[in-house]
Amino acid sequence: MRIIIMGPPGVGKGTEAVVLVKQYHIPHISTGDIFRELYKDRTTVGKIAKEYISRGELVPDDITNEIVRHRLNHQDVKNGFLFDGFPRNTLQADALDELLKSHETEVSAMIALEVDDEVLVQRLLKRGETSGRPDDANESVVRNRIKIYYKQTAILKNYYFDASKYYGVNGVGSVEDITERLKAVINNL
């Protein structure tokens, strides 16, 4: 199964993704995590990404798409994958479609987690106390990330809806409850 989990920052994509990939034995591809690793390893691309991330902005599409292109050449994606935090705009979604087409496959489903905005801001600021992510700790950066989500990413719901691949899931509840909701969607694909 080839799944995209999407939703605004702080909705719990990463948390749920970690649980799901264990159960379905597919790799978890978080472009945000990849950027943070590239930065930790002091690579040039990591340093460039960090500039954007620290402002709550999107890293330029050509950089992000190239990272994904590279990742999709690994053998472990043969039986599927779970994308977390990618695609984040229409151009990235187009790039993903093209990449998958070149591998003679396609996205199975895009599952959107939905949560109220103020809940997100509070969750992210709280996460910032322990996550070590500077982009979580600053309220204006957090609000900027949410704003960009609504400006650029949320329209992907229509993108995948038009392809009959969109599923919305209520993101309010315990981690376990939300996992069950997500599995109900996935097991029905």
Based on the residue annotation, tell me whether 123 is a catalytic residue of this protein.
no
Q: Which stretch binds Mg ion (CB under 5 A): 7-15, 58-66, 101-109, 120-128?
A: 7-15
Based on the residue annotation, tell me whether 71 is a catalytic residue of this protein.
no
Based on the residue annotation, tell me whether 36 is a catalytic residue of this protein.
no
Residue ranges in 9-48 that form contacts with Mg ion under rule CB under 5 A: 14
Q: Can residue 123 be called a binding residue for Mg ion (CB under 5 A)? A: no
Q: Can residue 9 be called a binding residue for ligand C5P (CB under 6 A)? A: yes
Residue ranges in 51-70 that form contacts with ligand C5P under rule CB under 6 A: 52-53, 56-59, 64
Site map (CB under 5 A) of Mg ion, residues 136-175, x = contact: ----------------------------------------
148 Cβ contact list (under 8 Å, min separation 6)? 56, 57, 58
Based on the residue annotation, tell me whether 101 is a catalytic residue of this protein.
no
Based on the residue annotation, tell me whether 133 is a catalytic residue of this protein.
yes
- When the beta carbons of 105 and 138 are compared against Mg ion, the nearer one is 138
Give me the catalytic one of 2, 71, 145, 165: 145
Q: Which residues are catalytic?
A: 13, 88, 127, 133, 145
